[in-house]
Amino acid sequence: MSSSNTAPVNTIEHLCIIGVGLIGGSFARAVRQAGLVKRITGCGRNIENLKKALELGVIDDYSQDIKQAVKSADLIFIATPVGSFQSVLSQIKESMKEGVIITDGGSTKSSVIEAAKAVFNEVPVNFVPGHPIAGTENSGVEASFATLYQDHRVILTPLEQTNPDAINIVSQLWEAAGAKVVMMDAHHHDLVLAATSHLPHLLAFSLVNTLTTLDEKQEIFEYAAGGFRDFTRIASSDPAMWQDICLANKEALLEHLDHFCSDLKQLRSALQQGDGDFLRETFTRAKHSRDDFIANKNT
């Protein structure tokens, strides 16, 4: 908990979570555990998941009627795949309370802001786009846990017109969940995350897919070890969610992908020509960066 330096957050009377999966469910668990919310309503398309969320005490009630679900909410947290945002916002537009704060956990931010613009003409002043840099490859409410965000970053990408009080309340909820909140321009967020998250996911999915087409498929997986398990962990992520993220952040992702492919082509030439120095220098640069990254993470 790092909110000790800031004014205590007022308790949220009624929180509505749209999409009670890993991200939404963990947010609900964390803010409830911090004692910052009185009632949590869940909303989503999968009734079994909502029943499970209720059973686990993650939510207090649920409604599959999204208009009904948000009607009396003071804060709405949207944690559905980013491709669904425009539809979600359209549906809640007429039902939500005056002054309600909206935030989200979407992995891409420009697309979410575009969706809000498309629905409301102007991005609502009480909409605080956000992205917690945390997750696992598992999905659904059963994968959620209260400490998912502990010591992780949450990037908020408010606009110039965004209400500072709304930013403050959303920040304090995340801090109560144990996260470190940072502000960033949405476009910049998308460029950084394309490199560090979206491109690795694309490559992991792509590699595993390629391996499934090989004649030696069976053995390949049989003789794969720990390095392969870790390298491909993110290929066990939710395909529909990642389809949305890739499309929502297409431009930045294509930019990084092309850069990567061009460098890989150079490495291929070096390999073919037996240029060991080039390989070793490339590997060494990568190892140093990666070792530094780990050292910095641990400090």
Residues 182-221 that bind a second copy (CB under 8 A): 188, 191-193, 195-197, 199-214, 216-217, 219-221
Please state the closest distance from residue 269 (CB atom) to a second copy, in A. 10
SS3 83: helix
Residue nearer to a second copy on the CB measure, 38 or 233: 233
Please state the closest distance from residue 209 (CB atom) to a second copy, in A. 4
Note whether 40 binds a second copy by CB under 8 A: no
**Cα gap 52→37, rounded to integer Å:** 20
Residues 87-126, one symbol each (x = binds a second copy by CB under 8 A, - = not), give ----------------------------------------
Residue nearer to a second copy on the CB measure, 89 or 148: 148
SS3 42: strand
Give φ, ψ of 74 to 5 degrees: -95, -25
Note whether 45 binds a second copy by CB under 8 A: no
Instruction: Find out whether 263 and 126 touch, Cβ atoms under 8 Å.
Output: no
Map the footprint of a second copy across residues 151-170, applying CB under 8 A. Answer: 152-153, 155
Note whether 289 binds a second copy by CB under 8 A: yes
Q: Name 104's bridge partners.
A: 78
Map the footprint of a second copy across residues 55-94, applying CB under 8 A. Answer: 83
List Cβ neighbours of 119 (8 Å cut-off, separation of 6 or more). Answer: 86, 89, 90, 93
Helices 250-272 + 239-248 axis angle, to 10: 100
Residue nearer to a second copy on the CB measure, 127 or 242: 242
Listing from the earlier edge strand, what are the strands of the sheet with 37-43?
A: 61-62, 37-43, 12-18, 75-78, 101-104, 127-128
Please state the closest distance from residue 7 (CB atom) to a second copy, in A. 27
CA distances (Å), 256 to each of 91, 189, 195, 287, in order?
34, 14, 6, 20
Residue nearer to a second copy on the CB measure, 160 or 222: 222
Residue nearer to a second copy on the CB measure, 118 or 247: 247
Residues 248-267, one symbol each (x = binds a second copy by CB under 8 A, - = not), give --x--xx-xxxxxx-xxx-x
